[in-house]
Amino acid sequence: MAGQTLNGSRIGRRPGRYSAMSEINVTPFVDVMLVLLVVFMITAPLLTVGVPIDLPKTSASDLQGNEEPLTVSINDKGEIFLQETLVKQEELVARLLAISENLTARRIFVRGDRSVDYGAVMEVMGALNAAGFNKVALVTEAPQVIRRSAK
C-alpha cells in the first residue's frame, strides 16, 4: 500500500512536508516601509531653506507655481544669502544668472528679516529688476489665527 499514489502524491506521506512555501512574508517589507516613513517625516522639514529669518506677517494668499523658485534671503545683519550660500550684493546677479542659465523668467523669492532696513531689501530687489528678473516676490509669514470655540 505504501507504493500507491493518489493524485500524484504518495498516500503515506504528510502533505506539504517538503513542498515550497507559497505564502509571501510581508513583515520585513512593512518594517522597511515604516522605517522609511519615519526617516522622511524627520527629514522633510529640514529640506527648507536654512537661513534663519524672522519674516513679517501678512494675510496675502500663497503663490502657486510648478517649479522650485530661487530664494534670496537677507538676515538681520544685512547679509545676503542665495539659497543657503552667503554672497556679496555685487555677486548676487551674476550668480543668479549662472544658476538660472540666463533665463530671467525664473521665479525668485526674496526673504527679508523683519528687523532689516527696508532700503536693503529694496536695493536687492532693484538689482534683480535691473538684471531682467521680473518674477520677484517677497516672502512673508502668515499670521497666527486664533479660533475660539463657540460656547
pLDDT at 12: 54
**What single string gives the DSSP state of each residue in 22-84?**
-S---HHHHHHHHHHHHHHHHHGGGGS--S---PPB--PPPP--SSPPEEEEE-TT--EEETT
Place 115 in a pLDDT band, splitting at 50, 70 and 90. confident
Report pTM.
Answer: 0.52
Domain boundaries in the chain? 10-45
**For residue 34, what pLDDT band results from cuts at 50, 70 and 90?**
very high
Nearest residue to 57 via CA among 143, 144, 145: 143
Residue 75 has a pLDDT of 87
Lowest mean pLDDT segment, chosen from 11-20, 93-102, 121-130: 11-20
Query: pLDDT value at position 15?
Result: 59
Average pLDDT of the residues of the chain: 76
- How far does Cα 143 stand from its chain's mean position? 22
